[in-house]
């Protein structure tokens, strides 16, 4: 049985690196985020004000859009409200469409996935 990998990457605004890394580096919140999106794994790489997150989804799963997650989960919305102003080319959670546009800019799909 296979899986699908999706990666997200973005950077903190200059001077906001420590606040950004503190907000992002929360394994319990990462687990909840993965579960809410339908992912089976959430791996975070963090350093120098840059975040790379790799989510693994079971084969056939359709990831929940993060805007939908923010709409239905007050904790997720509060997290995104804190995150938006901390990142380069960020978003304003209360401004329609900006979270979706940010998600498109920061999402990467695999060019290849070599398994040995």
Write the CATH number for 7.
3.30.70.100
DSSP SS3 for 87:
strand
pLDDT at 69 over 60: yes
Residue 36 placed within a domain: yes
| pLDDT-derived band at 115, boundaries 50, 70, 90 | confident
pLDDT at 1 over 80: no
In angstroms, the CA 57 to CA 23 distance is: 24
Residue 23 placed within a domain: yes
18 CB-near residues (< 8 Å, 6+ apart): none
How many structural domains comprise the chain?
A: 1
Q: Which pLDDT score is estimated for 18?
A: 95
Residue 12 placed within a domain: yes
Q: Give the pLDDT mean for 62-73.
A: 90
In angstroms, the CA 108 to CA 106 distance is: 7
Give pLDDT tens digits for 87-109.
999 999 999 899 999 999 999 98
8 Å CB contact between 76 and 70: yes
If phi over 0 gives left and psi between -120 and 50 gives alpha, with beta otherwise, what is residue 89?
A: left
How many C-beta neighbours within 10 Å does residue 55 have?
A: 23
Give pLDDT tens digits for 10-54.
999 999 999 999 999 999 999 999 999 999 999 999 999 999 999
8 Å CB contact between 104 and 8: no
Residue 94 placed within a domain: yes
Q: Which pLDDT score is estimated for 63?
A: 87
Residue 116 placed within a domain: no
More confident residue, 1 or 4: 4
Residue 42 placed within a domain: yes
Domain of 88 in residue numbering reads as 3-108
Residue 100 placed within a domain: yes
């Amino acid at each position: 049985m296979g899986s699908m990998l999706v990666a997200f990457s973005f950077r903190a605004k200059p001077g906001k690196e420590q606040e950004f890394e503190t907000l992002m580096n929360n394994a319990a919140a990462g687990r909840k985020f993965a579960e809410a999106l339908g992912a089976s794994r959430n791996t975070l790489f963090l350093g120098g004000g840059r975040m790379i997150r790799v989510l693994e989804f079971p084969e056939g799963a359709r990831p929940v859009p993060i805007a939908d997650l923010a709409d239905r989960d007050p904790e997720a919305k509060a997290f995104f409200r804190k995150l938006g102003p901390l990142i380069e080319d960020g978003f304003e959670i209360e401004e329609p469409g900006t979270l979706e546009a940010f998600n498109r800019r920061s999402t990467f799909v695999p060019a290849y996935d070599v398994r040995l």
